[in-house]
Amino acid sequence: MNLKNFKNEKGFWSAFFLLFLVTLALMGMGASTLLRSEGDNVSNNIQALQADYAANGGAYFGIRQLAIDSLTTAQEITIGEGVVTLDTSAIVGSSDILLTVMATVGEIERGVDIRIHPGSGLVDKAIFTTGHVFNVSANDSLGNNDPDLAVTEADSVPEIDETTLAAMSTAQGHDQADPTFTPADDYPNGSFYQPDGITPNVTHVLNDMQVNGGTTIYGIFVVEGDVVLNGGSRIHGVIYLPNPTSTIIHGGGNPSESSITGGIVSNGDIWGTGNHISVTHGPEFMRAFCEHQLGPDPDTVVISWEYI
């Protein structure tokens, strides 16, 4: 009798142990499935955040590129883990532009439509200043007078990456610290570009600059002080005056007119006192300068920003 009870108990415990193992296995499978599901959710959440950041980053990049007229149709860039495409289209019956940004990370896609009212367009101007302009003409690239290429008494000029320009000047050995920098003819190398033919010459003038008559100079000039252009001086490039107390003044000498092919961007006045300054828009030189424009033109307005 005792042996029979023992055998019955042995069978019971075997069945119980087997059931216990099956339960553990099912619990393990459930936990594994839950972990995989949670892992997928975490991965998807991370990708969704990356896609959101990429879309927003692409939007700000696109606005900046529109400001400097450098956004191509269906342009593709990479931001972090995201592949971002940017495209523009005209809005019928309006001068506004629709910028569409799509960002993809893994299987997650995020998009944004931005309606933009474009500003004055620094890159398309011969003169852009917050100051007054007297006896100075703005011409198109063919030399035809066009007053629309001059923006005067603006509330502000677009933000410029002065730090990078200063670093380029230092690297090129072009920093000028004399009380008055007077460049020689054909300064710095007879070309707007460095010998590579790609990088513009940049000169950082810490004080004043005077260009003598009959002298031709080249490049981007960041001048902390005043600029004096004597009669017959010629500049192939861009003069940028970051300080509101700075001025550009036409000095003496013959012939009376001084010329700039490129552009002037100034926080101060531009005076052709007694003589004339002719500024001819140079698209190539202005594009090179505006590569260092940090933000959109001051009068650029974002009308709407809609996630899609």
Please tell me whether residues 78 and 145 are part of one structural domain: no
The whole-number pLDDT of residue 71 equals 75
The CATH number of residue 63's host domain is 3.30.1300
Domain boundary among 118, 151, 180: 118
Residue 204 lies in a domain: yes
- Residue 294 corresponds to which tokens in the numbers above? 């940090």
Please tell me whether residues 92 and 145 are part of one structural domain: no
CA distance 103 to 100: 10
Domain boundary among 70, 87, 118: 118
Q: What is the pLDDT of residues 50-94, one digit of tens each?
A: 899 999 999 988 887 777 666 777 889 999 889 999 998 888 777
Strands 270-271 and 133-134: parallel
Angle in degrees, CA 138, 139, 144, rounded to 5: 140
Please tell me whether residues 244 and 186 are part of one structural domain: yes
CB 271 within 8 A of CB 83: no
How many domains in the chain? 2
CA distance 223 to 229: 13
Strands 180-181 and 75-79: unpaired
Residue 296 lies in a domain: no
* Mean pLDDT in order along the chain per 10 residues (308 residues): 50 54 56 50 73 90 77 84 90 85 92 87 91 92 93 89 97 97 97 96 97 95 94 94 89 72 94 83 95 81 89
The whole-number pLDDT of residue 1 equals 47
CB 300 within 8 A of CB 279: no
Please tell me whether residues 84 and 173 are part of one structural domain: no
Please tell me whether residues 126 and 262 are part of one structural domain: yes
Domain boundary among 87, 102, 118: 118
CB 218 within 8 A of CB 190: yes
Please tell me whether residues 114 and 192 are part of one structural domain: no
Q: Answer whether 0.85 is exceeded by the pTM.
A: no
Please tell me whether residues 29 and 41 are part of one structural domain: yes
DSSP string, 30-60: HHHHHHHHHHHHHHHHHHHHHHHHHHHHHHH
The whole-number pLDDT of residue 46 equals 82
Please tell me whether residues 137 and 255 are part of one structural domain: yes
Q: What is the pLDDT of residues 236-280, one digit of tens each?
A: 999 999 999 898 887 765 556 789 999 999 999 998 876 789 999
The whole-number pLDDT of residue 257 equals 76
CA distance 284 to 237: 9
CB 159 within 8 A of CB 295: yes
- Torsion over CA: 249, 155, 221, 65 (sign): negative
Residue 59 lies in a domain: yes
Full residue range of the structural domain in which residue 131 is found: 122-290
Please tell me whether residues 114 and 188 are part of one structural domain: no
Residues 6 or more apart whose CB falls under 8 angstroms from that of 212 comprise 182, 230, 233, 253
Residues 6 or more apart whose CB falls under 8 angstroms from that of 189 comprise 195, 201, 218
- Residue 59 corresponds to which tokens in the numbers above? 């939007």
CA distance 54 to 2: 77
Please tell me whether residues 38 and 114 are part of one structural domain: yes
> Tokens 């960041």 map to which residue?
222
Residue 269 lies in a domain: yes
Please tell me whether residues 101 and 57 are part of one structural domain: yes
The whole-number pLDDT of residue 6 equals 45
Residue 306 lies in a domain: no
| Three-state secondary-structure class, residue 25 | helix
